Chain A
């Protein structure tokens, strides 16, 4: 979910330069594929340079090449769409935003992609995305207000939220006992952590971990002041006596196994682990009151798409209340589809109930400053 390395970004930039050299893609004509009665999309370019497309509600203009993360959509939804619209959906999967970016930059024709928040900004800046035709999205009103605009896409012109998740704390209520507070103090304040029956697990992720410490100190997790970051480093060092492990892979199991009393981690993994635990009632997942991380994956249509209208139809299909609920009931992530909420399993709803009220922030790409988070986390751990 996070930019894995500077190198990847550098390489992506290199690809872009090369791709731009021989760019003959007019972004204009859209060929019709398949023998279906389809119409050709009208594609234009606005004065700002963003490519736009004019589609009707439910219009299709060919089969859909859907490029998504693995195990992120219910296969039944795919077949339902195919039946309803009479087109084929060809699914492909990627394992990192960076690999997806590189593929699009070299012109591989995908029609719909699901990039994470920070990647949407990069793709908008590189003019790789169509400006969406909201008139073709009859169900756009179902999208919850708070997900329509985000810092990475200020007007919501290029992306529609797909699913979201948060980073917070999984708590073993019995082990924590009376020391329970809805705060990052559960991992950072030795006065509190010393009372637990067991240690705590903290993510081994520069942005998440330094971000949590910054939040606890009252700063934004996107803060780029080095003095603040030094304070955060000191905070983690002082808390280290009760931190059993810095870990991003096993924390959910360690929590439900009773090996740690509190675990810092991602909502998606926590919900599964707690749901499968022997005594689910003994565990809660909380978002600290100081603020926590929100990540959002989004649907977007690349300019290399040959079926931008089918892609619009698919986005609209998922924005439907029932389909949106099916999606979340299958993958257990938070749904940005407000109309779908009444149809979603209670278990998932409970889990994401405090998202609306919590003080959440999306991690923004800080460019050259990113390396400092990595360095300081290493320093804090040493």
Chain B
């Protein structure tokens, strides 16, 4: 490893470092502004009057917002777990095995990423509406729209994202490591559990985080497949804009931001604790 601090910096390195700072500023300055203005007493987002926690009080005493946060978190949690498992499995099957129709599957995995949100939303809505009607006719049970349909829809688009991220990681991994494990009498499961999974863990974690973010973000698809009493936070916030943007939105966003940073920190912690083993394995491979 080259550590820039050890020797005098070349102009290129200085430029790169400056670039990094600019990029970070570009990323985080708006977030900083958002946080600062969430403590603004004024009704207008852009006019600073005095510091206040008024909007946080508003958020926490607003049942509609709290319910929306609850629905969002449940959906995000369920859809992230399910889509991470299914997406990882899809990536493994596409990368490690050869079977008939694989090429077709390969292409189809990318489809939900390419399809516009509105199209996907209408497809899913029709699918559920039709499916529920047939279920009703067949067994006399008609599920209703709600957290279930929202979660299923999020899983449907998240699988693709997870699969793509995990696959990239799998592609970099030397397949001989698995063969070596097999040579040493590891079963398929043991080889996966003890060799493959630790090596692709960062990819899986990345995929899961992406799935979580996308689920917490989605407006279009969710607003089409939601049911009574299951408005998610982004849909609610989007509706608020009709009344003009108030710092309530800043407060909500700041709370969400803190929550997601906590999640990232937790997942980083997880990775670090397992890294010692993983890097040892990785370096032996190199």
| Bound-complex Cα distance A331 to B239 (A) | 14
Q: Are B64 and A93 in contact (CB under 8 A)?
A: yes
Q: Which residues on A sit within 8 Å (CB–CB) of B119?
A: 11
Q: Which residues on A sit within 8 Å (CB–CB) of B243?
A: 70-72, 268-269, 272, 331
The residue that B129 contacts in the complex, of A8, A107, A257, with Cβ under 8 A, is: A107
| Bound-complex Cα distance A72 to B130 (A) | 32
Interface flag for B271 (CB, 8 Å): no
Report B219 CB to chain A, min CB distance, Å: 7
Q: Are B228 and A272 in contact (CB under 8 A)?
A: no
Report B124 CB to chain A, min CB distance, Å: 10
Q: Are B126 and A269 in contact (CB under 8 A)?
A: no
Q: Mark A292-312, 1 if CB is under 8 A from B, else 0.
A: 000000000000000000000
Residue of B nearest to A25 (CB): B133
Q: Are B133 and A24 in contact (CB under 8 A)?
A: yes
Interface flag for A179 (CB, 8 Å): no
Interface flag for A69 (CB, 8 Å): yes
Q: Which residues on A sit within 8 Å (CB–CB) of B230?
A: 92
Contact flag A15-B125 (CB < 8 Å), given A75-B63, A94-B235, A96-B223:
yes
Q: Are A108 and B45 in contact (CB under 8 A)?
A: no
Interface flag for A355 (CB, 8 Å): no
Interface flag for B224 (CB, 8 Å): yes
| Bound-complex Cα distance A72 to B236 (A) | 11
Interface flag for A176 (CB, 8 Å): no
Q: Which residues on B sit within 8 Å (CB–CB) of A249?
A: 245
Interface flag for B192 (CB, 8 Å): no
Q: Mark B54-92, 1 if CB is under 8 A from A, else 0.
A: 000000001110001000000000000000000000000
Interface size in chain B (residues, C-beta < 8 A): 44
Q: Mark A1-27, 1 if CB is under 8 A from B, else 0.
A: 100000110010011001100101000
Q: Mark A69-97, 1 if CB is under 8 A from B, else 0.
A: 11110010000000000000011111110
Report A337 CB to chain B, min CB distance, Å: 20
The residue that A250 contacts in the complex, of B46, B231, B235, B241, with Cβ under 8 A, is: B46
Q: Mark B226-250, 1 if CB is under 8 A from A, else 0.
A: 1111110001111111111100000
The residue that A106 contacts in the complex, of B43, B63, B125, B235, with Cβ under 8 A, is: B125
| Bound-complex Cα distance A207 to B154 (A) | 35
Contact flag A256-B236 (CB < 8 Å), given A22-B130, A102-B125:
no
Q: Mark B99-130, 1 if CB is under 8 A from A, else 0.
A: 00000000000000000001101100110111
Q: Are A93 and B47 in contact (CB under 8 A)?
A: no
| Bound-complex Cα distance A275 to B226 (A) | 36
Q: Which residues on A sit within 8 Å (CB–CB) of B236?
A: 70, 93, 95
| Bound-complex Cα distance A191 to B220 (A) | 45
| Bound-complex Cα distance A104 to B152 (A) | 20
The residue that A102 contacts in the complex, of B68, B122, B228, with Cβ under 8 A, is: B122
Q: Are A95 and B223 in contact (CB under 8 A)?
A: yes
Q: Which residues on B sit within 8 Å (CB–CB) of A93?
A: 64, 68, 231, 235-236, 239
Q: Which residues on B sit within 8 Å (CB–CB) of A256?
A: 44, 47
Q: Are A106 and B44 in contact (CB under 8 A)?
A: no
Contact flag A276-B47 (CB < 8 Å), given A22-B130, A95-B223, A108-B145:
yes
Q: Which residues of B contact A (CB under 8 A)?
A: 42-47, 62-64, 68, 118-119, 121-122, 125-126, 128-130, 132-133, 144-145, 219-220, 223-224, 226-231, 235-245
By Cβ-Cβ distance, the 10 closest A-B pairs, closest first, are A70-B239, A106-B129, A95-B238, A65-B228, A269-B244, A95-B239, A99-B223, A90-B229, A93-B231, A276-B43
Beyond A108-B144, A253-B46, 14 additional contacts (C-beta under 8 Å) are A1-B242, A14-B122, A18-B126, A69-B239, A70-B238, A72-B243, A92-B231, A93-B235, A103-B224, A107-B133, A249-B245, A273-B44, A275-B43, A276-B44
**Interface pairs (5), CB distance under 8 Å:** A92-B226, A103-B125, A103-B226, A249-B245, A269-B243
